[in-house]
Amino acid sequence: MTGLTQHHSTLEVVLVHWPVVNKHGDIIGSAVTNLDIHDIARACKTFGVHRYWIVTPFDEQQKLVGEITRHWTSGYGAKANPDRQNALELVHVRTSIDEVVDEMQGYYGVNPQTIVTCASPQANMLGYDEVKKNITEDRPVLLMFGTAWGLAPEMMHKADATLPPIRGEGEFNHLSVRSAVSIILDRLLGKY
Amino acid sequence: MTGLTQHHSTLEVVLVHWPVVNKHGDIIGSAVTNLDIHDIARACKTFGVHRYWIVTPFDEQQKLVGEITRHWTSGYGAKANPDRQNALELVHVRTSIDEVVDEMQGYYGVNPQTIVTCASPQANMLGYDEVKKNITEDRPVLLMFGTAWGLAPEMMHKADATLPPIRGEGEFNHLSVRSAVSIILDRLLGKY
């Protein structure tokens, strides 16, 4: 394990825009949205996440993410709002989840544990405390989040583990991905 | 205390657009943003929050919120996405925080405890467990969140209590209001 400092954990986050499903369950590629970049980068920075990966195979979308992040990391935004600069420096764009996993493998020397969330119970369910333990022990963990109506089933099945759904009173469970990421990071890395 | 059912708690949330401060600390009124309505309504619904109040004194802004919520609660959106309908039904627009407090007083028969969050320690600090206890005992609690650079100091000082800041590793604490609301609701009402 190389290059680790005390400033971040071995937890990394990926926001996936392909392959995801639409409301009919069809596999689609979704569009990157500006606020997914900002809100999730700010949450990642707050909780000491090492890197925030954005996966899209579409050239134009990759360019868009690059333009937005550069505005805040080296353009006018960096001067106007240094806090935002610090957050958006965590953003890295890649073409596929496999690419992210390979880079993490190269960086940490072992494959990351890949973790998804799901609204219904899965065979490979893992509790928040167990994932927390892995992070405390500096094992690389990749938290995967889908946009649109969620990650494609093949990605869900390939993941090493599934976190229990976020629930309050009742059965309603339709959080935005921005809210879901924030809550899960707080559960895994929050201090209070 | 009247009209309570098991489907929601005595916790209510208000998102304040006036009086708030800009980056220089001047008192301003901020513009309502679409995603603040949606993301926070979905989080409120997930965690069984009774009502989600949006405070703005500006007529045009009040109309805008009305148009957005009606699209989802009784317009085309209600048919297209019933989950979103359920969430946006929690939204109520009012002109001032005082109006919200008065309505809660009328509904519950006692004044709500008003709670803010702050990045620095305050004299009236209250832990998450204590607020949780109040909610468990069905005491009305109003969680107040500011947009822009946060609630005006006068509102901070008038609040009954202040929750500790949300922190991970390090000093960075610049979450979006959408992330902050989601995390605090999970800490107070989440089940896991």
Percent of chain A clearing pLDDT 70 (strictly above)? 96
Indicate the residue type of B144: M
- Among B47, B87, B167, beta carbon nearest to A169: B47
Mutate: best of B83, B176, B181, partner A, most A CBs <10 A:
B176
With 90 as the cut, is the pLDDT of residue A123 above it?
A: no
Average pLDDT over chain B, rounded to an integer = 92
pLDDT of A30 reads 97
Predicted TM-score (pTM) of this structure: 0.94
Element (H, E) at A100: helix A97-108
Angle at B36 between CA B98 and CA B39, to 5 degrees: 120
Nearest CA in chain B to A163: B192
Residues of chain A with C-beta less than 8 angstroms from the C-beta of B90:
none
Task: Tell me the longest C-alpha to C-alpha distance in chain B.
Answer: 48
Distance CA A31, CA B139 (A): 43
Residues of chain A with C-beta less than 8 angstroms from the C-beta of B168:
46-48, 185-186, 189-191
Residues A128, B164: C-beta atoms closer than 8 Å: no
Task: Tell me the longest C-alpha to C-alpha distance in chain A.
Answer: 48
Determine the 3-state secondary structure of B15 from DSSP: strand
User: Residues B22-35: pLDDT tens digits?
Assistant: 999 999 999 999 99
In the numeric block, which tokens belong to residue B144?
């107040």
Question: Are residues A113 and A139 in contact, defined by beta-carbon separation less than 8 angstroms?
Answer: yes
**A-B contacts at Cβ under 8 angstroms:** 134
Crossing angle of helices A177-189/B177-189, nearest 10°? 60
Q: What is the ipTM of this complex?
A: 0.93
Crossing angle of helices B34-46/B59-73, nearest 10°? 50
CA A5 to chain centre: 20
pLDDT of A7 reads 58
- Among B8, B42, B179, beta carbon nearest to A174: B42
Tokens 């519950």, located at residue? B108
Q: What are chain B's domains?
A: 11-53+96-189 (3.40.1280.10)
Nearest to A35 by CA among B118, B175, B119: B175
Mutate: best of A88, A125, A172, partner B, most B CBs <10 A:
A172
Q: How confident is the model at residue B4 (pLDDT cuts 50, 70, 90)?
A: very low
Angle at B136 between CA B132 and CA B140, to 5 degrees: 85
The whole-angstrom distance between A64's CA and the closest CA on chain B is: 20
Residues of chain A with C-beta less than 8 angstroms from the C-beta of B84:
174
Element (H, E) at A143: strand A141-146
pLDDT of A6 reads 44
